[in-house]
Amino acid sequence: MSPTARAGSPERIWVRLPGWVGDAVMATPALRALRAAHPRAEILAEGARPLLSLLEGLASVDRWIAAPSRGTRALLAHARALRRERIDRALLLPDSARSALAPFVARIPERIGYARDPLRRALLTHRLDPPRRDGKREPISMIERYLRITRAAGCADAGERLDLPVAAAARARVGERLEKAGLPPGTRLAVVTPGASFGASKLWPAEHFARACDELAGRLGLRCVLAPGPGEEAVARRIVALASTAPVCLDAPVTSLTELAALIDEATLVLSNDTGPRHMAVALGTPVITVMGPTDPRHTEHLMERQRVLRNPVECSPCHLKTCPIDHRCMTGLVPGRVLEAAAELMS
């Protein structure tokens, strides 16, 4: 029996968002399904502050809660705060035991999520088994993975599209920065995001990015704009130094997530590692090329109409390692010419 059938319609629902930008964007169909099933409930979403600033404005969420810092004292304070909220149901989109501790201590009556280990199972009241086939964990689309949680809560799907609001203030700031860099409104932009918070294994080589920028500019007439995140400035500057077509680098300061959303929304094309900006582009309808190495494409194989995922098929991929222990052949062997081919196909 589903929680909805057992307990009636909840008045207040708390959702713990995933920690990665891309995963949070891929969770928006689940949030939309939750809102459609419970139009009168108050839906609270908790996550890291930068994620909340990015997603603020979604019609599917009423209130945003910043995730607490680590430590026992912060956990207990957070659990007390959740208890005061008198929440009826908790949906836990991340798999970690830590994400389930506060709602457990707060005694939220219904706690729904995947149970991948005994501790996590003990913290939940409604448990989903992780997808498996032939005894092994099965990679499935993250959109589908999160929708299985809302289905377990009795919510019918409300479509698979990704939602991402673009703040007017962020759009204005980006416009000012582009004009200051000599890129007036109407310039055909290729936004390039060369970083990846996951680790070095996801990074396409700087010289490959530089060559791709030159070909996108020289053959397709796109002005390339590098948008590094915090800590990614050095690799972006190296790409600019290696390129011969003078890409613009927005690194002083780096763009915030809200500014990045506005920049992607203005772009003709996005070129990205397999990281959050890829999914932001999908949500905003901007064609995107993703260079992918160590990760399994089945986790993100959805809404592919305006995407091209480029891979170099090698025997050791996908490995999901943060650092390659050998020669990084999955990425070094992925030649820049393939980006031009994919871009010409998408833009046609």
Q: Specify the pLDDT at position 3.
A: 55
Residue 64: how many CB atoms within 10 A of its CB? Answer: 17
**CB-CB contact of 291 with 211 (8 Å):** no
**How wide is the angle at C-alpha 214 spanned by C-alphas 213 and 216, nearest 5°?**
65
CATH 3.40.50.2000-classified regions of the chain:
3-152, 168-347
Q: Specify the pLDDT at position 240.
A: 97
**CB-CB contact of 193 with 282 (8 Å):** no
In DSSP terms, 64 is beta-bridged to 45
In this structure, of 21-35, 120-134, 261-275, the range with the lowest mean pLDDT score is 120-134
277-334 per-position pLDDT tens digit? 999 999 999 999 999 999 999 999 999 999 999 999 999 999 989 999 999 999 999 9
d(CA 90, CA 97): 14
d(CA 202, CA 331): 8
CATH superfamily to which 3-152 belongs: Glycogen Phosphorylase B; (3.40.50.2000)
The percentage of the chain sitting over the pLDDT mark of 90, rounded to a whole number, equals 91
Which is more confidently placed, 5 or 255?
Answer: 255
Tell whether the model's pLDDT for residue 5 goes beyond 50.
no
Residue 79: how many CB atoms within 10 A of its CB? Answer: 19
pLDDT band with cut points at 50, 70 and 90 for residue 8: low
Q: Specify the pLDDT at position 326.
A: 93
- Sequence-distant (6+) residues with CB within 8 A of 220 are 190, 340, 343, 344, 347
pTM: 0.94
Which is more confidently placed, 20 or 136?
Answer: 20
d(CA 322, CA 285): 29
Mean per-residue pLDDT for 145-172? Answer: 97
The conformational region for residue 323 under phi > 0 = left, psi -120 to 50 = alpha, else beta, is beta
Distance of CA 169 to the CA centre of its chain: 22
Tell whether the model's pLDDT for residue 6 goes beyond 80.
no
**CB-CB contact of 101 with 75 (8 Å):** yes
74-122 per-position pLDDT tens digit? 999 999 999 999 999 999 999 999 999 999 999 999 999 999 899 999 9
Q: Specify the pLDDT at position 122.
A: 96
CATH match for 168-347 among 3.30.450.40, 3.90.550.10, 3.40.50.720, 3.40.50.2000: 3.40.50.2000
Tell whether the model's pLDDT for residue 1 goes beyond 70.
no
**How wide is the angle at C-alpha 79 spanned by C-alphas 78 and 81, nearest 5°?**
65
The percentage of the chain sitting over the pLDDT mark of 70, rounded to a whole number, equals 98
pLDDT band with cut points at 50, 70 and 90 for residue 197: confident
Instruction: Give me the helices (H) in the chain, please.
Output: 3-7, 21-26, 28-37, 49-55, 72-85, 97-105, 118-123, 142-152, 168-180, 206-220, 233-242, 257-266, 276-284, 329-332, 337-347
Peptide bond preceding 109 in cis form (omega within 30 of 0): no
Tell whether the model's pLDDT for residue 259 goes beyond 50.
yes
d(CA 17, CA 99): 9
Mean per-residue pLDDT for 38-56? Answer: 96
